[in-house]
Structure 1
Amino acid sequence: MFASFCRRRLLRLRRIPSAAGTNPSRPNPSDAFLSHGYSSSALAGGTVSEPCPATISYLVSCGLSPAAAATHKLRIRSTDKADAVRVLFRGYGFTDADITEIVRRVSLILTLDPDRILRPKLDFFATLGIKPRKLATTPLLLTRSLDKHLVPCIQFLRGILGTDGDLCYAITRTPRALMADLEKNMLPAVDALRRLGLPEKSISKLLTLEMGVLMVSTDRISQVFEDVKALGLDVTDTGFLYSFRALLCLSRETWLRKVALYRSFGVSEAELHMAFKTQPTILLFSDENIEKKLRFFLDELKLQQSELMAKPVLLASSLEKTIIPRCAVLSVLTREGMIDPNIKFVSALLGSAKIFSKRFVLRYAHDVPDVVKAYEGKITFEGFRDRDALVSQKQ
């Protein structure tokens, strides 16, 4: 089934050249800016064909490098207004780093009227609970019309998501999705999900997890929907939404490349199929990240590939923040004879940070202080002294 599914994706890739090497859920920021940002008169008054030395100097004072500042074809005619914009942002809790990020992404924002244009939008997002840091990563939102775009979109999303808490969470995860046009993008996307049989509760959960689906064409939504069902998942299955989200984020070329990467380590199609259905995020990491994790678990820890793929949550965990510190703790404890070297190793690596800390760190912190240092990354993990005995236990 998995091989057939991969072939289907490859055939679709040939039929739809525009999908190759692109992520349909990510629009070109420049196109969005020119289409939905400022009026033509405002653009004409603020942009220039060549860099303006005085403006470059001002952008440098905002934290940009001279080289980065020179790429902005902008003329700031009033530094007083630009200063007022920066003061306004600081008043709403934006840090200097946030303001630098805003200016780097959308320097023309310095030419907007701080009280008439920006303040109402900042008030609006503040009432929704959106933090300044998130707005700093998507400052184009502050160029959209409050009454004609932002308010109608929020009202529509509130009707689907239900609570303002879920709405804030969804926007915080994918703020760029609010750039989508209500009539052209949001409504058709939700209608497509309904037409394909996704229950209202599932649509709400999907948008909470990945609101970027609202920026995807209805054809793409239908294709991914079919792909997920081809994996043997029904809309009522727990993993359906997570698999749908994962495939939506991957172009078909990227999907096939990552499948080939796992296969190069000896992972069978059946193993990868089951692992993906259980933990779809294993295909969302970069190729380098996937390879690094596979080499660590298979080469360093000597796990069997079947054992690893049966617990794909290991591959979804951070090596640096979770797996390696835990291995360092277990290494210290086995070296000191505090735990049985035949411990069920994979089970020890799984579970929440709270459980692991209570079981292996706090329990032994008094007698073996090094476990605390190991857990904090202050003791380098260099493998297990009796690794073969430790990692050969089957779950």
Structure 2
Amino acid sequence: MFAQTFMRRCNGGCREVLFSSSIFRATYSTNAAGTSPAATKFLPEYLTNSLGFSRQESASLAAKVSRFASTTKPKLVVDFLKKMGLDSTQIRKCVSRFPKLLYIDVDKTLNPKLQCLQELGLSGSDLSGMIEKGPKFLERGLDSNLKPTLDFLKQVFGNNEDVRAIIKIYPWILSTTCQAMQQNFSYFQKLGFSNEKIKWFIARRPNALQFPPEWFEERVNMLEKDFSIPRNSPMFFYGIYAITSISKSSMDKKMAVFRSFGWSDSDIVTMFHHQPFYFTLSEANIRKKLDYFMNQLGYKPDFLSTRSLFTYSLEKRVLPRVNVLNTLKEKKLVVKTHCLYSIICLTELKFEKMFLLPYKDVVPDMYESYKRRLGR
């Protein structure tokens, strides 16, 4: 029998390695990734013919999973997803986001995990959205991670409806270890937060559950030392919510924006005591509102730092109402001087009752213009 002989250096010596001709041919008929040409050719064609990807898209996706050689798993996965209620468009989106999905074992992995979520009341379209947003949960253990995490969330929220709502919006939460969640929940309790407040926090900031307690301790120290908010303050909880929403560098950049408009560190601390949610706004949003309220309306830091003006949309709330007031003043229909802040804080119903409906027939264009600006 023909044999190909190779000599390898090994620890200063030689080692003879023999390959039979059949093994030699098989070895050199595969590509560098260890995938046969048939398997390499299969996936791009399958993605194009079965899921409607363009040839360029198919080639790009296939390249990301070139280490997998199976020509049967992709079809099994697609057929299974269709049985779960996903249509071709949804499957295409899932594969685009997570190409490895096509090579997950249906019986051992995909079916048990997705059925576990369906038992929670999630539909095929829900599952599609979850795979698109946070597919990593499919790579975590069913019994070691997925089930304990779901059990913990059910324990926290007390009902499946809230759990469904959370994981549909933040599916990557299922990739967080249950142990990390439990540690953070215990830490919140240690800080004196009620279960209701913790539920409120998790529902709005579930990504915080990924961080270790030490990460929270750093931010607690920042609140206490840099912003002088003690743990027994009613604003401490909301300060934690705000300060865990952003990185330290982002916090510094936003503080720099306030300083660029003449705010002192004392003004910023006062603002954080009253309106910690200001720090959850983007730098661009903060800069735009500072420019309007300070440069155009003339408000000072001591006024803005203790009012909730920044929580309202300029485009959908402030500017439309200012425009109404200016129109009424121009037509001398309003004699009494009103505080703009109190007007901005009015509910939509009260604002219409006080400043729109009484003048609807007198200034009909004003009413219609206001509604258009609000997109109604």
Q: TM-score, normalised by structure 2?
A: 0.71
**Which deviates further from its counterpart, 328-337 or 210-219?**
328-337
Instruction: Tell me which of 375, 379, 389 is aligned to 2:370.
Output: 375
Pick one of 251, 258, 277 that aligns with 1:255: 251
> Residues of 1 paired with 2:143 and 2:112: CA distance?
11
Shift of 1:283: 1.2
* Cα 1:330/1:133, change in 2 over 3 Å: farther
Aligned to 1:323: 318
SS in 2 for 1:267: coil
Deviation at 1:186, TM superposition (A): 1.5
Partners of 1:109 and 1:143 within 8 A in 2: no
Give SS of 1:226's match.
Answer: helix
1:271 maps to what in 2?
Answer: 267
Aligned to 2:121, the other structure's residue is in SS state helix
Give the Cα separation in 2 of the matches to 1:204 and 1:83.
37
Match of 2:115 in 1: 120
Does 1:294 find its partner at 2:286? Answer: no
Pairwise CA distance, 1:335: 3.3
The residue type paired with residue 105 of structure 1 is R
Aligned to 1:314: 309
Distance 1:284 1:239 in 2: 15
Q: Which residue pairs with 1:105 in the alignment?
A: 97
Paired AA for residue 154 in structure 2:
R
Give 1:58 shift.
6.3
Output the CA distance in 2 between the equivalents of 1:179 and 1:297: 43
- The answer (yes or no) to whether the contact 2:47–2:53 under 8 Å persists in 1 is no
Shift of 1:63: 8.7
SS of alignment partner, residue 228 of structure 2 = coil
Q: Identify the structure with the greater strand proportion.
A: 2
For residue 87 of structure 1, what is the amino acid of its counterpart? K
- Given candidates 137, 145, 148, the residue that maps to 1:149 is 145
Name the residue aligned to 2:337. Answer: 342
Which of the numbers 45, 50, 61 marks the counterpart of 1:54?
45
1:23-80 superposed Cα distances (whole Å, 9 cap, x missing partner):
xxxxxxxxxxxxxxxxxxxxx99xx999964367469835998499559603684564
Structure 1 residue 84 corresponds to structure 2 residue 75? no
Asked whether the equivalents of residues 152 and 182 of structure 1 are also in contact (C-alpha less than 8 Å), the reply is yes
- 1:181 is displaced (CA, Å) by 0.8
Q: How much does 1:152 deviate?
A: 1.5
For 1:51 and 1:309, the matched residues in 2 are separated by 63
Maintained 8 Å contact 1:50/1:73: no
Considering only CA atoms, is the larger Rg found in Structure 1 or Structure 2? 2
Does the alignment pair 1:73 with 2:68? no
Match of 2:173 in 1: 177
For residue 241 of structure 1, the aligned residue among 230, 237, 241 is: 237
Kept after mapping to 1: 8 A contact 2:184/2:213: yes
Q: Distance in 2 between matches of 1:222 and 1:64?
A: 51
Counterpart pick for 2:189 among 173, 186, 194: 194
Q: Distance in 2 between matches of 1:109 and 1:372?
A: 53
How many pairs does the alignment contain?
A: 331
Check conservation: 1:188, 1:218, Cα contact below 8 A. yes
Match of 1:21 in 2: none
Compared with structure 1, are the counterparts of its residues 343 and 335 closer, same or farther at alpha carbon in structure 2 (3 Å cutoff)? same
1:53 to 1:163, Cα distance in 2 relative to 1, 3 A: closer
In structure 1, distance between residues paired with 2:335 and 2:128: 46
Rate the CA distance shift 1:52–1:319 in 2: closer, same or farther, 3 A.
farther
Inter-partner Cα distance in structure 2 for 1:215 and 1:245? 15
Contact 1:180 1:214 in 2 (8 A): yes
Q: CA deviation at 1:242?
A: 1.9
Change (3 A) 1:264 1:204: same
Listed as ranges, the gaps of 5+ residues in structure 1 are 1-43, 381-395
Give me the whole-angstrom Cα distance separating, in 2, the residues matched to 1:68 and 1:345. 59
Q: Which runs of 5+ in 2 are unaligned?
A: 1-33
Query: In 2 relative to 1, CA 67–277 (structure 1 residues): closer, same or farther, beyond 3 Å?
Result: farther
Bigger RCO of structures 1 and 2 (CA < 8 A, at least 6 apart): 1
Cα distance in 1 for partners of 2:129, 2:356 equals 35
1:310 aligned counterpart, secondary structure: coil
Contact 1:52 1:74 in 2 (8 A): no
Amino acid at match of 2:94: I
Instruction: Report the residue type matching 1:250 in the other structure.
Output: I
* Residues 153, 182 of structure 1: 8 Å contact kept: yes
- Alignment check: 8 A CA contact 2:65 2:100 kept: yes
CA-based RMSD of the aligned residues comes to: 4.1
Deviation at 1:146, TM superposition (A): 4.2
TM-score by length of 1: 0.68
Cα pair 2:316 2:373 within 8 Å, conserved:
no
Question: Cα–Cα, structure 1 residues 342 and 207, in superposed 2: closer, same or farther, change >3 Å?
Answer: same
Deviation at 1:346, TM superposition (A): 1.6
